[in-house]
Every structure is written in C-alpha cells, then in structure tokens.
Amino acid sequence: MSRLLTELERRRTFGIISHPDAGKTTLTEKLLLFGGAIQVAGAVKAKKASRHATSDFMEIERQRGISVATSVMGFEYNGIKINLLDTPGHQDFCEDTYRTLTAVDSALMVIDSSKGVESQTYKLLEVCRMRHSPIMTFINKMDRDGKPPIELLDEIEDRLNMVVCPMSWPIGSGKLFKGVYSLVENRLVLFKAHGKQDGPDSVIIESIDDPRLDELVGTVDAKQLRDDVMLVTGVYPPFDLMRYLSGEITPVFFGSALNNFGVREILDFFVAHAPGPKLRESTTRDVRPIEEKFSGFVFKIHANIDPKHRDRIAFLRIVSGVFERSKRFLHVPSGRLIKCNNPTAFMAQDKSIIDEAFPGDIIGLHDTGTFKIGDTLTEGEVFSFKGIPSFSPEMFRYCVNLNPLKTKQLHKGLEQLCEEGVAQLFTMLDGRKIVGTVGALQFEVIQYRLDNEYGAQSRFDALDFVKACWIRSENTTKLADFVRYRQSQVAQDKDGQYVYLAQTRWSLDREVKENPEIEFLTTSE
C-alpha cells in the first residue's frame, strides 16, 4: 500500500485542449523538451514524418496540417510522472477529444492571443466542465500582434463563463514583447526571440516598485506594467487552490510556445498544483485510486498503427490498484478472464513494454478484437465505469462497395474503424450500412484507411438525415410501434440499440412532442 501511495502522489495526467492552430502541438513539444523526453524541439514532428512513411492514414495529417488522432506521451519532470494527452483540435475529430478528456484529471487550455476564445475552445471546455476538471490557461503567441491582455481575460470570463486568475502579466506584445512579470513570485522573466535561450532569463525583484524594473524594461514599459498590475490585482481574485481544483477558477499564464517562453513556468505550476488521480464513478460505486485491487477502462482504440502487422491497440486508463503484466483480469462486458502479455507505455507513437503501471497511467493493450471503447477491466469485481459517451452524429452517408470481391474486407474495416470511434456504424432495419460522423473530414479519413489498410475501395453517398437520437422507453409496446411505423428512419447501433434518424430538426421536434413516453437521447454511454 505504501508503494501505491507513493506512486499515486507523483502521478499527473492531463490533456491539452485548444482550437486548431492555437499552438497546441508546439506547446506539447516544448513541454516534452523541458521534461527531457525529447532532445530537440521538433522531434515529435520528425517522428510523425517517419510515421507517415509506414502509415498512409497519417498522410491526412501531413496534407491537412492537423492532428487526427490523440497522442499519449509519458515523461518525468522533477520526480513527477506526467502523462500528457495531445488531442485533435479540429472539430471534425472532436469526438475522439471528448472521450480522451474522460481519461484525464485536469486540462491545459491554449488560446491564441491574436484570435482569443474560438468556437472549438468553448465546446472542449464544456466537456471539461461537465467533469469539473481543473483547467489551466496558456495565452500563446504573445510575440505576435494580438488582442490586449485585458480583452483576452474578459473573453474568457464572458464567453467561457470562467473566473480568471492571472499568474503572470505580459510586458508589451508583438514586436515590442519584452517578457512577463510573475504576480506570485515578484519575478521578471525576460524574453529573447527565435529560440536563443535554453530557458528565459529570470530576475527576482523586491516588488513591482523596484527601480531595477525601469533599467530592465525601460521607463515607459515599467510604468505601464505597474499600472496594469495595480488594475489586475484589484479586479481579479488571487489564486485559490481549492477553487482551482473544483474547476471554479482558471490560472492564466502568458508566453510564446514557439520560443520556449513561459513553458517552464506552466510546467512548474502544474507539478505543484494539478491534481493526481481522482476517484471515478461506476455503475455500482465510486472507485478510489488508493484501492489495492486493479481497475481501469478503455477510452480509445487505434487499429493498424503498424499496417504491416495489422495491430490494434486499446488505450487503457488505470483507475485503481496496480496493473501487472501477464496477470489475469476480468473483462467485464464478456465476463471472461484475459491476460495481457505485452502491455506498453507510450512516448508519442513509440512504445515500450512495461511490467506494471499505476493509477493515472495510460497503457496500451494489444487487441485482437476483444476490446471496445468504454470496456472495464477489474480484478474480479463486476461494474462498469460511467461517463464514456458516444455523441450524436450530424452527418450520414451510405458506404458503397466499389469492389464486390472485397466485401468481407470492407465490412471488417468499417466495423474496426467504427470501434475506434472514428465514426459510428448504424445498420438500417433492411440491412444497409450507414456511417455517421460529427464532421465531413472523417469520411475522407475512413475512405483513405479502408483503401490503404484493408484493400477495400468504397464511395460515400450523402443522406438527408441531420441528427441521430438513441430511443428508449419503459413502455415496450410504444417503442415497438414507433419502430414499426418509422422503419425507414430507424436503425440499430453496434450494440443493437435503436436509433432514430431525423431528416429535419423540425421533424425531430415533432416526434419528441408527439411521443412523450419515448426518450430521444443525443448521447449514449
């Protein structure tokens, strides 16, 4: 128990969320750089480039300049084991991001100083808010012309409905950006552009009124900083650890990830204040990390990371106890005992076999088709973890087989890719297969992977459905009648649950109003 407690205290698991192009992947690289996980900034991109050579699917990343899959990276910093999950920012892949956020204990929100709060930032924050996850904020690209800092803080408060707590304050911006002043430590961090520093120069001053401030940044900027600090400390609340941990306030930092500036300050704050592994709600009880018996859940599946081996990896978040290699665990959905002989830890796409892992860790389990998203593993107790959702798709297309000789491969590819959560597969009552997604780009990814990984050529024909809702009712007769009368708009999901496919928003509202005994749900656990 003492070893488990020791490992728990040094675990931190978090995800990075942002709108596309806010600098999330760049920040991830710099965090890894400071953590010693890579030797030079850009190494993650370099590895991705080599990954393109072995996985045609990842060519989508290269062509579009976006991330389409969650990356898991583990590294140590100042004695703390950090599990970092870099999520796709593009809205077409937000469902993968939503599920990933169920596996973290806190989040780091990245905002572009020139664009402020954007739509995808809002959506991702709402997912964190549903789980009461603590959130740190990094306002990036301060070395570029952008919005005034006060305006950015106002946007966070107004659009995201969050109380902000500035931990540092910028001195100038764009070409006139000179650094930041730490409101907590009375420390001046001076900026040097274009990566000319291993870490920013830091000067401790006695207070904001220290005359050395004028010497270091100039009289004009020193006066502006003093005025800003007086305003900021009078308007915004001081940092309160309990309010941060409950998700009520977000500490805000300023910097430039591209220039390594402000990254070390975030990492130091995160290690000192971010929460360790938290309890998780299950179908029978709350499961605490300190419990001796192992439990965990699958939040992501990725097939064909190496197409030559047709491998599938299930990403497992450990909730309690110790995971031990080659030990038998109960796969709750099937009721079978399974043994994982080669569990892996992640550093981006690189993997290494491990013998044990602890709560908060993310490990990879080689999968032959046993696991599905949301599956629970335990040491024998029967329960399932809650809160791992499937979201209602809003785009639907028929999958048309262009090569009848590859029908088996097409069906297998569709099933496996949809098990990953890339999309959702619905079967109409007449047997036709429909693929539903939350974004158009997912169809391009599926088509690409079906062709390159399964040898199955396909075409996707658009359908005039606008929303899918899972339907259920305690009145089985009413439900059966609804399914019978709406056969052309009812399908079944992978678990056999009925789904109503609405052709218009108006028709959906009408069905909800006319069928009060039937529940129309936009998420399914």
Domain boundaries, the chain: 12-68+107-273, 280-378, 392-524
What is the model's pLDDT at position 390?
A: 66
What H or E segment, with its residue span, contains residue 160?
Answer: helix 149-160
Residues contacting 26, CB < 8 A, separation 6+: 257, 258
- The pLDDT tens digits along the chain (525 residues) read 688 999 999 999 999 888 877 888 888 888 888 766 544 444 444 444 444 332 333 454 444 444 444 577 888 888 899 998 876 654 545 566 777 888 899 999 999 999 998 877 777 787 787 778 899 999 999 989 989 999 999 999 998 889 999 999 999 888 888 889 988 888 888 887 554 444 446 677 778 888 888 888 889 999 999 999 999 999 999 999 999 999 999 999 999 988 888 888 889 999 999 999 999 999 999 999 999 999 999 988 876 555 555 567 888 999 999 999 989 999 999 999 999 888 888 764 456 788 899 999 999 898 877 888 889 999 999 999 987 766 677 789 998 889 999 999 998 888 888 877 778 889 988 888 899 887 777 888 888 888 988 899 999 998 889 888 999 999 999 999 999 999 999 999 888 899 999 999 899 999 999 999 999 987 766
Q: Give the helix/strand (H/E) hosting 121.
A: helix 119-130
Do the domains 392-524 and 280-378 match in fold? no
Distance CA 128, CA 100 (A): 11
CATH H superfamily, domain 280-378? P-loop containing nucleotide triphosphate hydrolases (3.40.50.300)
Would you state the pLDDT for residue 372?
84
Burial of 320 (0-12, 13-18, 19+ CB in 10 A): buried
Nearest CA to 401 among 370, 377, 433? 433
Q: Give the contacts of 56 (CB within 8 A, at least 6 positions apart).
A: 307, 448, 449, 452, 453
Query: What is the homologous superfamily of the domain 12-68+107-273 according to CATH?
Result: P-loop containing nucleotide triphosphate hydrolases (3.40.50.300)
What's the token pair of residue 34? 């400071």
The fold of 392-524 is Alpha-Beta Plaits (3.30.70)
- Confidence (pLDDT) at 17: 85
pTM assigned to the model: 0.76
**How many whole angstroms separate alpha carbon 500 and alpha carbon 471?**
7
